[in-house]
Chains A and B, each alone.
Chain A
């Protein structure tokens, strides 16, 4: 056994670090570190920097303008970016739709949509969840009915992340309801500027506008926007789930958050000394630290197995469960660390610029904690992950 990177991998990691050091504006990394919401322009700014370096499409083969990185290189890039508090790449187009297009899309679709992702011309969002299709995703009711050269789409999507910024949405729609729920689902690309598309904000419990409802009323979508074959949308959606998902562990983000927590617990006083010296608090931090070190190695084991040709499959459920629990725990500790200043609610809607109450680092503690409740709910709730493990790993 050998936990270390090869010389080439180490060199690559150093290259990534040097790039982040030089290219990542501190303005952005400070906001990420403090848990502030980034504006559309700020996200686009960072993605343009990555695109200029050729590092935006980390999942794509070179021929389409991607990095062509292997699983270890992607892993290194993800971890280093998160640890440096770089803004996350908005995954919906680049990491979720693109692999489906590359595998199942027509040449025309690839030629049209992929370059626009790299240039930042399109902002994609994901139209999977519906009011009646959460964990039971196959229960999709939004319909698409063929009418000449168009599909006519009616229905509603929900929890649509960043739909307020998006001009395009990829949707699971029902084109046939005669068979099993998984059959008759199709994968459709919809222009959100089409007549009949309406986006309504959902304000989450942290006061943030991150997710939306998207309504479709007689929206006409050209048939060339159907990906692959009609009725096989479930297969394409599942393809994404079997795709490499070691980022689900979020170890880079957790490591950055834990380091920030230590700084805060050093600054906060408890009983006349730094909070980090309080044994009860230190114990909770140490538990999280140990679990994170374990998870880092668990993730690397999955990465190494994938690099050797294995499929992450159900192993990624383990990473998702543990990774999200851990990030939530660190956010809970951060909320506790700031003490009474966890209470003031200082919304940071665009345009608003109120002076903080209490220490700067305290402002986002509770909203971040609240926001991260989503981690164990989305992407297949942790209970769904355990159902997957029950079948795939336990064979029960």
Chain B
């Protein structure tokens, strides 16, 4: 048993934490989401330079990390800094590209390209197999038609990794240049301050080689992404808990710090208990990532369920204990809380994963 970070993990965590503390912040994040590109070009380049993206991939494919605990360490730190750059899309798209043996991964790791996954659709909810987008095989190429929902950082991307259903019914994964004719986007900012878009694909022609493989590629990418946002939530919750504790110590009402009230003390203790459980859930998921598929799915659903319920609780409690000021846009707290809440809406919420856990347990 060893629950400590490796030296490489620890040094990247230290560098990344320092970067987001000293050279990043909510103002930069918010400005980036409002900009056309939807992210901060300079920050992105710096993250790549620090090795953040490379840490997500193994040395066989050009990175220098890539194990589940590397992903966990990176995303927990990103969460603690509320970093809004497209690292999560890079993980998903990169996982597909790596599995498909694509050399496009190099440009992703060095930060010169952005690629994003676009698997979910307006009516697919959290089901990767419910794909209405079609891929029609033609003599020289593929023609893709359909729509993809809430695609983070789509407007910044050079490449969209999409799922589409072939005529024989199988779902495959394709790489689609964002600039291809027939690709249109309606961009917007999410409730948690990330740039996203609804993507339309109308008669988009891509070469034969654009087909990267089966839907399993998407599933593996979502597994990695699920682990990543669970870890991100750990960082968010740590920030929210610390900020709330500080507030309980310094906010004076009735002549004493509000943290003197036992009712608030015990609610904070509950938060600590549940956060430790959530961390264990994420560790369990990370440990299962390289194991058998069933065990991995079970551990990921356990983690996503735990994170979904716990991050929501911590966000709501943090706002409540801050009182009126917790309701404001101005306070950093609300930004962290919103990201913690929206994580439950990515890759399946706690109900979705509890149901999947039950199905898998019965099998």
A residues with a Cβ closer than 8 A to B are 1-5, 72, 276-277, 279, 282-283, 286-287, 289-291, 293-298, 300-301, 303-305, 307, 317-318, 321-322, 383, 385-387, 389-390, 393-396
Contact = CB atoms under 8 A, between A and B. Distances in A.
Interface in B233-272: 245, 248-249, 257, 259-260, 262, 265-266, 268-270, 272
A305 to B, nearest CB: 8
B69 A291 contact: no
Nearest to B267: A386
B283 A1 contact: yes
B81 to A, nearest CB: 21
B354 A301 contact: no
B99 interface: no
Query: Interface residues of A: mostly helix, strand, loop or mixed?
Result: helix
Nearest to A383: B266
Contacts of B281: 290, 293-294, 297
List the 4 shortest-distance A-B pairs measured between CB atoms, nearest first: A297-B280, A386-B269, A390-B265, A294-B277
B280 A390 contact: no
A210 B278 CA distance: 36
B4 interface: yes
Q: Which of A3, A296, A307 has the most CB of B within 10 A?
A: A3
Contacts of A72: 1
B361 interface: yes
Contacts of B249: 395-396
B358 interface: yes
Interface in B105-159: none
Contact of A277 (B3, B245, B265, B362): B362
Contact of A289 (B283, B286, B361): B361
A338 B278 CA distance: 31
A297 B5 contact: no
A1 B286 contact: yes
Contacts of A290: 281, 302, 305-306, 354, 357
A386 B2 contact: no
Nearest to B244: A394
B285 to A, nearest CB: 10
B67 to A, nearest CB: 9
Given A287-B354, A290-B302, A304 B265 contact: no
B287 interface: yes
Nearest to B351: A283
B302 A294 contact: yes
A295 B280 contact: yes
Contact of B265 (A3, A279, A303, A386): A386
Interface residues of B, number: 40
Given A297-B281, A303-B1, A386-B266, 11 more contacts: A72-B1, A279-B355, A279-B358, A295-B277, A296-B280, A301-B280, A301-B283, A389-B269, A390-B262, A394-B268, A394-B269
23 contacts: A1-B3, A3-B283, A277-B362, A279-B355, A286-B354, A289-B361, A290-B302, A290-B357, A291-B277, A293-B280, A294-B302, A297-B280, A297-B283, A298-B277, A298-B280, A301-B279, A301-B283, A318-B273, A318-B276, A383-B266, A386-B265, A386-B266, A387-B265
A1 B5 contact: yes
A283 B273 CA distance: 22
Nearest to A5: B1
A359 B305 CA distance: 34
A297 B266 CA distance: 23
A161 B118 CA distance: 62
B284 interface: yes
B260 to A, nearest CB: 7
A1 B69 contact: yes
Interface of B: 1-5, 69, 245, 248-249, 257, 259-260, 262, 265-266, 268-270, 272-273, 276-281, 283-284, 286-287, 299, 302, 305-306, 354-355, 357-358, 361-362
A1 B269 contact: no
Contacts of A307: 1
B61 to A, nearest CB: 22
Contacts of B3: 1, 3, 300-301, 304-305
A286 B259 CA distance: 35
A265 to B, nearest CB: 11
A2 B286 CA distance: 10
A393 B287 CA distance: 27
Contact of A4 (B1, B284, B362): B1
Nearest to B353: A290
Given A72-B1, A277-B362, A282-B358, A394 B265 contact: yes
A387 B306 CA distance: 25
Nearest to B9: A1
Q: Which of A1, A277, A385 has the most CB of B within 10 A?
A: A1
Contacts of A295: 277, 280
B189 to A, nearest CB: 34
A286 B357 contact: yes
B6 to A, nearest CB: 8
A286 B360 CA distance: 10
Contacts of B355: 279, 283
A263 to B, nearest CB: 14
Given A1-B2, A286-B357, A294 B266 contact: no
Contacts of B358: 279, 282-283, 286
Given A1-B69, A294-B306, A390 B269 contact: yes
A396 B266 contact: no
Contacts of A296: 280
A99 to B, nearest CB: 24
Q: Which of B249, B257, B279, B281 has the most CB of A within 10 A?
A: B281
Contact of A304 (B1, B69, B278, B357): B1
Contacts of A291: 277, 306
A3 B277 contact: no
Contacts of B5: 1
A294 B283 CA distance: 9
Contacts of A383: 266
A5 B1 CA distance: 6
Given A293-B302, A386-B269, A396 B277 contact: no
